[in-house]
């Protein structure tokens, strides 16, 4: 039974989702890093919000961990690179709090435009400074969005309802999508030059860190107002302070900061700065939504292999998971077969080609390729799995090619893996028998139909009389029982393949005896 640790506060309904689906669930919040490291090896899943830090050190201690689920969109508190290297899936919940965060950005924009926090504080202090607080309208102003994904597009919709003109900078925004949203796509210099208000809705990565800096502020209109409800670090706070004090920037509304919790900050002293303590997702609806969503996603993955909203592995919907899983098993086994046959003497793997034809060609092949690479690398690299295998391949300079064939296959469905090294190129193909059972159908162009056994012996030999008798006698003499026996050949008297399933691993001593038999060219012990 999978076991999950909830390390940050989640709703009781989310906890019940785990337990109702048969997942053992512990709730231990407020743990120190050392306390968490001491127990994390017991768990298959870790559910968090923003408080718990999933560091490289924690992941090294998490020997059984399979998935980290972040109830929220940001994963700044998760070392995704280290998680990928360890083969741990990292999921977030990008949709559960999108409306709430977008609404907060609009609220901050209103508060900034009409100086609401200051006016409220003044009035409560017994003053009546009606002439002091002169705001600006949002109607007919130009809003510049930096980031137009889930949250940014909702902000755009709300801003259009306020009769604002909306520009958006987002490298992934297409002209068609911009047209559908009713906004204008712009590059950053144009957005800076034209926007009266700028809001940020992008993740914090190397390419977006300090995207608003001194140079950017200098390029903006005098009197611009800036709203950040996305991530601290997107704005160079020292540069913003200079812009606010000089009058270049009329005001800023910040829900996030470079250092959080932000208990002190020079920006707090300015009257034209509105601040909130990272409240973007802080509504009852959003907190419930993301908690339920992460519980469902993690449960689906641990129980069925379905992958949703993962940052480091291809998606597999809950609906597709039962159909895709047998193909993933097939691809993994074919990869393991090819990997075990690729010996050190063959040289370094340089190229892997994976071909899909028949029914499998209609499926999402990204997770299938990841499974094939995981199988291929498992005999060579301890801990290789479908999460980290594509990264391991890139790091080793292995070129991976995926080919989808529309042509009819001899089989209803077929996957072929070809592995090239400095010395050899070998391929292996397989299908699904009865729709769910992986079966080998071809090795190095030779037809050999065989189910995968736990322990197998692969032999290449010359197709001459006498081999089968000597081979069987050798195994019998070593006390090895043959479960299944499969033969194939390129032509009469040519190269042949013998593939047998046996009841126990074949020792090196027995392999050595097989290799000395007349007609034998190669003998390899396999395990699956």
Residues with catalytic function: 231, 260, 278
* Degrees to nearest 5, angle at CA 37 with 31 and 42: 100
Nearest one of 229, 225, 227 to 277, comparing CA atoms: 229
Buried (b) or exposed (e) across 211-231, using 16+ Cβ within 10 A? bbeeebbeebbeebbbbbbbb
Q: Which two tokens stand for residue 436?
A: 């769910």
Contacts 24+ apart (CB under 8 A), 53-56: 53/77, 53/78, 54/78, 54/79, 54/83, 55/79, 55/82, 56/82
Residues linked to residue 364 through DSSP beta bridges, in sequence order: none
Nearest one of 405, 334, 429, 425 to 376, comparing CA atoms: 334
Q: Which two tokens stand for residue 206?
A: 């190397």
CA–CA distance, 455 with 471 (Å, rounded to integer) = 17
Q: Which two tokens stand for residue 487?
A: 């033969």
> How many beta carbons lie within 10 A of that of residue 22, not counting itself?
11
CA–CA distance, 265 with 484 (Å, rounded to integer) = 73
Residues linked to residue 485 through DSSP beta bridges, in sequence order: 500
- In terms of Cβ atoms closer than 10 Å to its own Cβ (0-12, 13-18, 19+), residue 57 is middle
CA–CA distance, 208 with 212 (Å, rounded to integer) = 9
Buried (b) or exposed (e) across 246-272, using 16+ Cβ within 10 A? eebbbbbbbbbbbeeebeebebeebeb
Q: Which two tokens stand for residue 221?
A: 């209109």
* 149 Cβ contact partners less than 8 Å away, ≥ 6 residues apart: 94, 170, 172, 201, 202
- Asked whether the beta carbons of 245 and 62 are under 8 A apart, the reply is no
Distances (CA, A) of 395 to 331, 353, 367, 392: 21, 17, 19, 5
Buried (b) or exposed (e) across 112-126, using 16+ Cβ within 10 A? bbbbbbbbeebeeee
Helix axes of 12-20 and 284-304: crossing angle, nearest 10 degrees: 20
Distances (CA, A) of 47 to 317, 318, 480, 487: 20, 19, 47, 50
- What is the DSSP annotation of 161-204? HTT-EEEEE-TT--HHHHHHHT-EE--HHHHHHH-SEEEE----
3-class state of residue 420 by DSSP: strand
């Amino acid at each position: 039974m999978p076991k999950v640790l909830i390390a940050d506060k989640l709703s009781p309904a989310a906890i019940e989702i785990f337990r109702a689906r048969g997942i053992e669930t512990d709730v231990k919040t407020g743990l120190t890093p050392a306390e968490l490291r001491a127990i994390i090896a017991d768990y298959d899943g870790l559910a968090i919000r923003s408080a718990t830090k999933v560091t490289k050190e924690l992941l090294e201690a998490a020997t059984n961990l399979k998935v980290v689920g972040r109830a929220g969109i940001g994963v700044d508190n998760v070392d995704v690179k280290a998680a990928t290297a360890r083969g741990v899936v990292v999921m977030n919940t990008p949709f559960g709090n999108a409306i709430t965060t977008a609404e907060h950005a609009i609220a901050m924009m209103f508060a900034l435009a009409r100086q609401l926090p200051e006016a409220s504080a003044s009035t409560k202090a017994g003053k009546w400074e009606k002439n002091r607080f002169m705001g600006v309208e949002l109607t007919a102003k130009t809003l510049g969005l930096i980031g137009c994904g889930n949250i940014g597009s909702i902000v755009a919709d709300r801003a259009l309802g306020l009769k604002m003109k909306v520009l958006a900078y987002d490298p992934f925004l297409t002209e068609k999508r911009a047209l559908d949203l009713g906004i204008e796509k712009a590059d950053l210099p144009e957005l800076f030059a034209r926007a009266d208000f700028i809001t940020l809705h992008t993740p914090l990565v190397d390419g977006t860190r300090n995207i608003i800096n001194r140079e950017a502020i200098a390029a903006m209109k005098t009197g611009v107002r800036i709203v950040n409800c996305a991530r601290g670090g997107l704005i160079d706070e020292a540069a913003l302070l200079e812009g606010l004090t000089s009058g270049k920037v009329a005001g800023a509304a910040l829900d996030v900061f470079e250092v959080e919790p932000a208990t002190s900050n020079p920006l707090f002293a300015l009257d034209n700065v509105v601040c909130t303590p990272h409240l973007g997702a802080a509504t009852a609806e959003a907190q419930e939504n993301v908690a339920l969503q992460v519980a469902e996603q993690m449960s689906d993955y641990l129980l069925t292999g379905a992958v949703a909203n993962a940052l480091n592995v291809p998606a597999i919907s809950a609906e597709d998971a039962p159909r895709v899983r047998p193909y993933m098993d097939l691809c993994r086994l074919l990869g393991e077969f090819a990997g075990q046959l690729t010996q050190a003497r063959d040289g370094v793997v340089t190229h892997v080609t994976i071909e899909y034809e028949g029914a499998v060609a209609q499926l999402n092949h990204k997770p299938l390729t990841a499974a094939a690479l995981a199988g291929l690398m498992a005999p060579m690299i301890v801990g290789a799995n479908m999460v980290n295998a594509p990264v391991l391949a890139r790091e080793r300079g292995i070129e991976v090619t995926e080919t989808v064939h529309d042509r009819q296959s001899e089989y209803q469905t077929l996957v072929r893996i070809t592995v090239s090294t400095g010395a050899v190129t070998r391929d292996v193909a397989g299908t699904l028998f009865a729709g769910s059972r992986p079966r080998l159908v071809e090795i190095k162009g030779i037809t050999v139909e065989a189910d995968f056994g736990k322990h197998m012996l692969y032999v290449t030999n010359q197709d001459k009389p006498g081999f089968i008798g000597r081979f069987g006698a050798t195994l019998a003499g070593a006390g090895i029982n043959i479960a299944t026996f499969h033969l194939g050949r390129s032509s009469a008297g040519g190269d042949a393949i013998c593939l047998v399933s046996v009841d126990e691993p074949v020792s090196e001593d027995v392999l050595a005896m097989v290799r000395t038999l007349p007609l034998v060219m190669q003998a390899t012990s396999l395990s699956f």
